[in-house]
Amino acid sequence: MRPALALRVHGSDTAAMMIQGVPWGFVETRSLMQHGELPLWNRYGHAGSVFLGQAVTMLGDPLQLIVVLGRGSASAWDLKFLTAKFLFCIGFGLLVQRLLGSQPLALLYAALAAYCGAFYFINNHQAFFVFSYAPWILASALALLDWRASHYFRWGLVWLLVNFACFNAGHVEMAVVLIGGLNLSAVICALLGCRTAVEWATVLGRMTVGTMIFFGLTAPVWISFLVALAGAYSVHSEIHVVQLPFECLSGAFDDMLYLIHQPNDSFNALAPGTSLLVFVGCVLSVSRRRQLRGNPFFWINSCAIVLWGGCIFGWVPVPLLAAIPFLNRDGHTYTDFSYLLVLHLTLQSAYGFKMLAQEANLRRAAMDLFCAILVFAGMLMANCFSGLQRPIPWNYLWCAGTGAVGAPLLFAYWKHIWRQISAARWTAILLLGFAAQFRFGLYCSGDQDLLLLAGPRMMLDAPSPAIEKIKTGASDPFRVVGLQCSLYGDYAAVYGLEDIRSSEPLTSGGYLDLLRNFPGIQFDHHWLIEVKNPVAAQPLLNLLNVKYLLAVPGVTLPSWLAFRITDQSDFGVVENLEAWPRAFFTDQVVPIATTEEFIQHLVRHGQRPFVALTPREIATHLGLRKLAAARPAVVQAATNYQPLANSTAFEIHAPSAGVVCLSEGQARDFIATANGEPKTVLTVNRAFKGIYLDQPGDYHIKFSYRPRHWHLACDLFFAAVGVAITLASLRAFRIPQATRSAPRIT
């Protein structure tokens, strides 16, 4: 709950799982298992915001069912990570088997895939799951588009599943790059094998039909995302394309060589890499390129390496990348393209080692390996003259380099002497090869600068006496905010607490504008909201229904403040005595045109609830104009709240005509009803929801969230499912005799 920041981090944003992935797993579990609803809305962060429309929730990834059924526990996440790694290994082995036709090599790469260098970089990030589907995308696409294959349809269903899962696995920018790049390689490979227009039409037709079904299956996510994007605040609002300098190229073969270009206090490595063993295999493949000239995918793979490497290291121009919508704004395109590069480089190394296995001349094999040593030495020299920020870890590189060169050299030597290599010699070869890969595993002890060390397993929702006390002591909805890194990011959602902060990429622009300009609130790192001065920020905390502030135990306060300390157990709990109710009625509205004016008014009048609208909104509504008179306002708090996954309902008594305000994040796509009668949703207090009541009475009011075009998205989804089922049925019930009597094309 108050995580200590790790001094050593090796990969991508290692906090992402704890501040976003894990809490969102609890949100999904709560919504699906308790309320039986698909979570479209998230009440636990940013005072309420879109959920499915974030497009990074992992909802839709079949592996996320492990987390949901495991109720978000650490063991469920462990099982998901292990399953994803296992799928990657099996998929990579099948891919090597299909492309190179060598079962021993396929088994070897299936084992080595578990130690793929990219996993070291993404050891604790949602990108782990996206990357795990990558080999399956390419393998299934090659099988689907092979017009000579008899089982293309089964592979087509696999293709739909893995592309859908990859898209929803939690890192949509990376998923789009992988899906687009790998399918492009498969299409080119299939078209190069075509001889007639009919064959071309078959290949393009299969990919077109599959793509249309894929777009239909993913419609609920991408339509919700596009709807949420309009008018939202995002940290990626501007075009920002960054490439790595050419001297960083060696890092593609070991991300330790990326780190030496970073200062000592750098947060992480720049991008994922492969390994020195992969580097040696790639050099071997280049030296044997003439022997591989008849293999079309080898050349497609080589071109892919050049293309994606250019996107990363600069020989593809920045203006070209800046013209790609969405990807030109994520700020880490070089990282996203690196996953493609890792996959293609590893495949390239397989071609090299296959050629080594077929080489009968020991001298030539030794010369090729010596050439690999010279090339790598040249890359290290370039690193040394490029202005290093850290010393090169020579002890590690000697060990990994010896294994990377020694394993294939020992194989070539023993193969030259004996036709059959004994099990003991194979063991020695594999141990040497493992020396080049060992750093990318998970270990219980060792050098923390080089290895991933597993920590003790912990309960993600460990009991908290302070949180349990405030939850049992409140009957109406309330929000909390953590001070000094307490409940960092979205972690309040783990305990079912609603927070005003979040790490989600999309949120209401009006809400963020209000927070980052309010006294006492600090806004940095593009998304981090921190309450630096609770006294100065109290009017805003009142408005946001923040009843409790959670600090470290031992917190003290002056007695004259409108706060009081209610607990000093695992948290120092500070109660805000002036917090507004979540929903209330008022018979008066205040005309305020700008956020700056609203902040000034809130600072002066934050002790008592009020409703403000813009003069333009008031002028266009006859009933609201009658409420703008300067007189004492009547305020009535709501009762009998019913907060569900995608809706909030409550009871309220209106003594006259007036406005009901619900202090939950405004979205254009909320539907409001009062006693079952539809009402127009107003934007009140700059970022929240309200409705106008024209008559006094007792009302049951409900606000429900549905993204715009949600029915269209669902229709597209079910249509895509229907098409896939129909095609599968037609394939399953076709006449066997017709299949047998069809002429075979040779």
pLDDT of 735 above 70:
no
Q: Which tokens hold the place of 15?
A: 């906090």
Q: In the Cβ-directed half-sphere of 182, how many Cα atoms lie within 13 Å?
A: 31
| Phi, psi angle pair for 176, to nearest 5° | -60, -40
**For the chain, how long is the longest CA-to-CA vector?**
101
In the chain, the N- to C-terminal Cα span, in Å, equals 65
Q: Is a pLDDT exceeding 60 seen at residue 628?
A: yes
The answer, yes or no, to whether residue 739 has pLDDT greater than 50, is no
Beta 682-684 vs 612-613: how paired, if at all?
unpaired
Beta bridge partners of 429: none
480 DSSP β-pair partners: 499, 548
Mean pLDDT value across residues 666-674 = 89
Predicted local confidence at residue 294, as pLDDT: 87
Give CA torsion, residues 440, 446, 448, 449, to 10 deg.
Answer: -70
Cβ atoms of 407 and 112 closer than 8 Å:
no
Residues paired with residue 585 on neighbouring β-strands, in sequence order: 636, 660
pTM, entire model:
0.93
pLDDT score of 398 more than 50: yes
- Strands 590-591 and 639-643, by their bridges, are unpaired
Alpha carbon distance 688, 694 (integer Å): 20
Cα–Cα distance for residue pair 441/2, rounded to 1 Å: 28
Residue 266 pLDDT level (bands cut at 50, 70, 90): low
Query: Which one-letter amino acid corresponds to residue 44?
Result: Y
pLDDT given for residue 3 in this prediction:
38
Determine the residue type at 239: I
Q: Which residues pair with 576 in a beta bridge?
A: 563
DSSP 174-191: HHHHHHHHHHHHHHHHHH
Q: What is the DSSP string of 384-412?
A: HTT--SS---HHHHHHHHHHHHHHHHHHH
H or E segment to which residue 564 belongs? strand 563-568
Burial classification of residue 629, based on how many CB atoms lie within 10 Å of its CB (0-12 exposed, 13-18 middle, 19 or more buried): exposed
pLDDT-derived band of residue 264, with 50, 70 and 90 as boundaries?
low
What residue has token string 């593009």? 526
Q: What percent of the chain has pLDDT over 70?
A: 95
The pLDDT, as a whole number, for residue 548 is 96
Q: What is the pLDDT of residue 2?
A: 40
Mean pLDDT value across the chain: 90
pLDDT at 103: 93
For 51-77, what is the mean pLDDT?
A: 95
Map residue 288 onto helix, strand or coil: coil
Lowest mean pLDDT among 215-224, 380-389, 438-447: 380-389
- 3-class DSSP state of 72: coil
Q: Which of 40, 48, 35, 19 is nearest to 479 (CA)?
A: 48
Tens digits of residue pLDDT in 72-128: 999 999 999 999 999 999 999 999 999 999 999 999 999 999 999 999 999 889 999
Q: Could you give the C-alpha distances from 117 to 123, 212, 306, 451, 505, in angstroms and in order?
A: 10, 34, 20, 12, 27
pLDDT digits (tens, 9 = 90+) for 488-540: 999 999 999 999 999 998 999 899 999 999 999 998 767 789 999 999 999 99
DSSP H stretches of helix in 606-707? 615-619, 622-626
CB 587 within 8 A of CB 633: yes
Amino acid at 617: E
> What does the alpha-carbon distance between residue 298 and residue 346 come to, in Å, rounded to a whole number?
12
Residue 470, Cβ density class (10 Å: 0-12 exposed, 13-18 middle, ≥19 buried): buried
Angle separating helix axes 710-732 and 152-167, nearest 10 degrees: 160
pLDDT per residue as tens digits for the range 537-589: 999 999 999 999 999 998 888 877 899 999 999 999 999 999 999 999 999 99
Indicate if the pLDDT at residue 237 is higher than 50: yes
3-state secondary structure 95-134: HHHHHHCCHHHHHHHHHHHHHCHHHHHCCCCCHHHHHHCH
pLDDT at 681: 95
CB contact at 8 A, 55 and 221: yes
CB atoms within 10 A of CB 57: 26
Cβ distance 543 to 685 under 8 Å? yes
583-705 — its CATH code? Answer: 2.60.420
Q: Where are the beta strands (DSSP E) in 21-116?
A: 41-42, 49-50
Q: What is the 3-state secondary structure (H, E, C) of 488-539?
A: CCCHHHHHCCEECCCCCCEEEHHHHHHHHCCCCEEEECCCEEEECCHHHHHH
User: Taking the mean position of all CA atoms in its chain, how far away is CA 389?
Assistant: 30
Question: Does the pLDDT value for residue 385 go beyond 80?
Answer: no
| Token pair of 252 as six digits | 């593609």
pLDDT digits (tens, 9 = 90+) for 427-478: 999 999 998 998 898 888 887 777 888 878 889 999 999 999 999 988 899 9
Spatial separation of the C-alpha atoms in residues 170 and 193, rounded to whole Å: 35
Q: Which pair of structure tokens corresponds to residue 641? A: 């709240």
DSSP classification of residue 17? I
Using pLDDT thresholds of 50, 70 and 90, give the confidence band for residue 388.
low
Q: Give CA–CA dist 565/187, Å, rounded.
A: 65
- Token pair of 704, please? 């429900």
Q: How far apart are CA 459 and CA 524, in angstroms?
A: 30
pLDDT at residue 231, as a whole number: 80
State the CB neighbour count (10 A cutoff) for residue 341. 26
Whose tokens are 């609002």? That residue is: 237
Closest CA to 464 of 486, 431, 432, 433: 486
How many of the other CB atoms lie within 10 Å of CB of 191? Answer: 15
Residue 745: predicted pLDDT: 33
Confidence check: pLDDT of 268 > 90: no
pLDDT at 525: 67
- Which of 570-609 are b and which e, b meaning 16 or more Cβ less than 10 Å from the residue's Cβ? bbbbbbbeebbbbbbbbbbbbbbeebeebbeebeeebeeb
Residue 6 pLDDT: 39
* 331-363 pLDDT per residue, tens: 788 999 999 999 999 999 999 999 999 988 899
Question: Whose CA is closest to 218, among 579, 739, 714?
Answer: 714
**pLDDT-based confidence at residue 9 (cuts at 50, 70, 90):** low
Most confident of the following: 149-153, 282-286, 473-477: 282-286
Confidence band (pLDDT; 50, 70, 90) for 46?
very high
Q: What is the pLDDT of residue 69?
A: 96
For the chain, give every domain's residue range: 81-234, 239-462, 468-576, 583-705
Q: Are 257 and 250 in contact (CB under 8 A)?
A: yes
